[in-house]
Structure 1
Amino acid sequence: MSEHSGKGRAGASKDQSRLRSSRAQGARREVVKPGRPGHAGRSIKWRSMVDLLIFLIGLGIFMYPLVAAYVNYQSASSAIDNYDSIVERLTPAEKAEMWAQAKRYDEELGKPTLRDPFKYHKLKYPVNLYNRTLNVDGKGMMAYVEIPKISVKLPVYHGTSDDVLLKGTGHIATTHIPTDNKTLHGVITGHTGAVGHIFFDNLTQMKKGDVFQVRVLDHHLSYKIDQIRVIMPNDVHNLQPVEGRNYVTLLTCTPYGINSHRLIVRGRYIGDNIPGTPPQGAPKWVLWIFLLALLITALLMHLVTRKRRQCRIAIALIHRNYGLGPGGDPGLAGGLPGPGSPGSAFIGPAGVAPAGGQMPRAPAGPASLARSSLPAGGWDDASGPGAPGSRMDQGF
């Protein structure tokens, strides 16, 4: 009897050890496996870099027209400075000869043959004579137009080819060259809405009575606007010379982006060195407000990106520390406790809650089911797992 009782106790001891081992293995399966070191941090860093890259691309697209316009404006300003420098180096006799040649060209031209400069680019007048007249810099620049009211100062080149109209403004070859002759009508054309350029885009702001200048050699020819009209491209009636009148007309496409019509702003010669109409549009502080708004937008984008990064870090830490998803090394950032630290909800490798912590409630596994099926008082010496009538003996 004692031998049978001893065997029963030995069997019960082995089964209890087996159950404890099973519970420990189940607990170990509940432990969150740490991911690769810094994996979550690197992922968040890459996302932040992508956000920054997207922001910079958007900013570049937004700023491109302004930057391109500024670069092209500097190029036009350099051409004008070069023109003035060449004129200053000319002797009085050379300037007088060039001026007289331009006046003779106008007298011989008579009534010009006009056409839409934005559709036809072939000259209908002897090319050599025209191109030799007032070719001051050897590159086709004959003058420059200055319109202070809309902050325009652009070179005027011979002809209206595509290349010319992307460098500045063009003079229609079959119209008179601006001089002080009594009867003439010169036409200067410029684009509106060209990408990366600002030519005659703001010509719509000009009013009757405004003054602009055309500078030819050292002559500052001043014109007072007396007519503003919108015409069809093939309507050249308003571009014809009028006996005893000296006109220069500024011509561009309209409406903006559609270009189905032509806007003409005609000025009558009123003498030399009469100042142009000063700017009356938005003051310079509007530009500073725009730059300030751009800076505030960039700052807000930075703050939003930073907040999103902090949220991602917090979510990654929660996933990592509570086993909700992959993460990096636990307990490295955010102040959340790692495994084994006070207040941690992690289960230690032995299946026991760390000191100061609480054991989290794990899902019911084989070990817990087996434990719940034990008798209230456990097995006694007389009824071990192998004893007759026990649950283990019944095939549980």
Structure 2
Amino acid sequence: MRGKARQIIMIILFGAGLLVFAFPFAEMAVNHFVMQHNLQMTAAANQREAKRVQELQKTKGDQVGDSFSANNLSKAEKAHMLGTIDIPSIKLSLPVFDVATEASLNLGAGVVRGTDMPVGGKDRHTAISAHNGIPTKVLFTNLHLVKKGDVFVITVNGVHRAYQVERKQTVKPTNVKPLARQAGRDLATLITCTPYMINTHRLLVTGHRVPYTAKIADAVHHAKQAATAYAVIFIVTLFWVIFTLLCYTIWRLKWQKDGPVRQ
């Protein structure tokens, strides 16, 4: 009886250990589906935000600062979702909020205070920041993998605006000169902390406006499908491994107790 109880306890402990180990990975995959669902649900509502975006654009000219500085991360200020940013080369799709706050940067990306709203136009330079990683979410984690010539798409009020990467640079948090407007140009810069977990500098990926073509639209669509497929495969594989290890543990404990079956 004691041996059986010991087996049950060992199985429970082993199963609990597997679940604890797997939980962060499963949560990351689930967060992907939640984020995609939220993006779809808010797409229609964002089309009614055009007037508010125009009002926000008037605040351009405020002092530009480091989005990740404690002085610029408001806990009380409420951020509103503007649209989305898609980076097909790293299979990423994130919500974009009208300002980078502590809350918005935990959910997606935010517009750097004092820079242009991401609505395009000449003499415009929008800057969008996101964390390089949160334990259970993929944000700008792989931004360093984006190469010159890659394209990212910012969608606001149902309008897709494509930008082709022309420059990557690493700067100190206080250096905001690369975010300045350039005469006659429509620019967008993506920002995240670097190196990972050290965060002493900022990685800037800057792109210039290019036509939003059918080829780019297809790339965005396929990237979203691939990201979802990877999440599904990951979840299924993870739980299959857990199930297999649990079954093996049960069999192993039973074999040790009863010994091999003899003919």
TM-score over 0.5 for the pair: yes
Aligned-partner residue type, residue 72 of structure 1: N
**Structure 1 counterpart of 2:68, from 76, 100, 118:** 118
CA distance, structure 1, for counterparts of residue 112 and residue 255 of structure 2: 63
Taking a change above 3 Å as real, the CA distance of residues 221 and 305 of structure 1, as seen in their structure-2 partners, is: same
1:191 maps onto 2:143 in alignment: no
Match of 1:80 in 2: 39
Moved more, 267-276 or 60-69: 267-276
Relative to its length, the structure with more strand (as a share) is: 2
Q: Which residue of 1 aligns with 2:109?
A: 169
Map of 1:298-313 to 2, 5 A cutoff?
A: 298-300=243-245, 302-313=247-258
SS at match of 2:93: strand
Any conservation in 1 of the 2:111–2:128 contact (CA below 8 Å)?
yes
Conserved? CA contact 2:64–2:114, under 8 Å: yes
User: CA 1:62–1:295 in 2, change beyond 3 Å: closer, same or farther?
Assistant: same
- Tell me the percent identity: 26
Structure 2 gaps of 5+ residues are none
Question: What does the per-residue CA deviation read over 1:63-115, in whole Å, with 9 as the maximum and x for residues that have no partner?
Answer: 22222223333332233222222246x5xxx85x556x26x825x735x5222
| SS of residue matched to 1:109 | coil
> In the alignment, is residue 105 of structure 1 matched against residue 57 of structure 2?
yes
Q: Aligned Cα RMSD in Å?
A: 3.5
The normalised TM-score by structure 1 is 0.56
Alpha-carbon separation, structure 2, partners of 1:149 and 1:44: 55
| Distance in 1 of aligned mates of 2:241 and 2:120 | 52
Structure 1 unaligned spans of 5+:
1-41, 132-138, 315-333, 336-396
Provide Cα deviations, 1:231-288, integer angstroms capped at 9, x if missing partner. 2222222222222221111111122222222111111111345616565x99968984
Kindly state the Cα deviation for residue 185 of structure 1 after the two structures are TM-superposed. Answer: 1.2
Contact 2:185 2:208 in 1 (8 A): yes
Write out aligned runs for 1:202-241 (5 A): 202-241=142-181
Aligned-partner SS, 1:173: coil
- Give the drift of 1:62: 2.5
| Larger-gyration structure (1/2) | 1
Listed one character per residue, the Cα deviations across residues 351-394 of structure 1 (whole Å, up to 9, x for unaligned) are: xxxxxxxxxxxxxxxxxxxxxxxxxxxxxxxxxxxxxxxxxxxx
Alignment of 1:247 onto 2:183? no
Which of 187, 196, 201 is residue 141 of structure 2 equivalent to?
201
Separation of aligned partners in 1, 2:95 and 2:235: 29
Give the 3 Å change call, closer, same or farther, for CA 71–282 of structure 1 in structure 2: closer
Contact 1:69 1:197 in 2 (8 A): yes
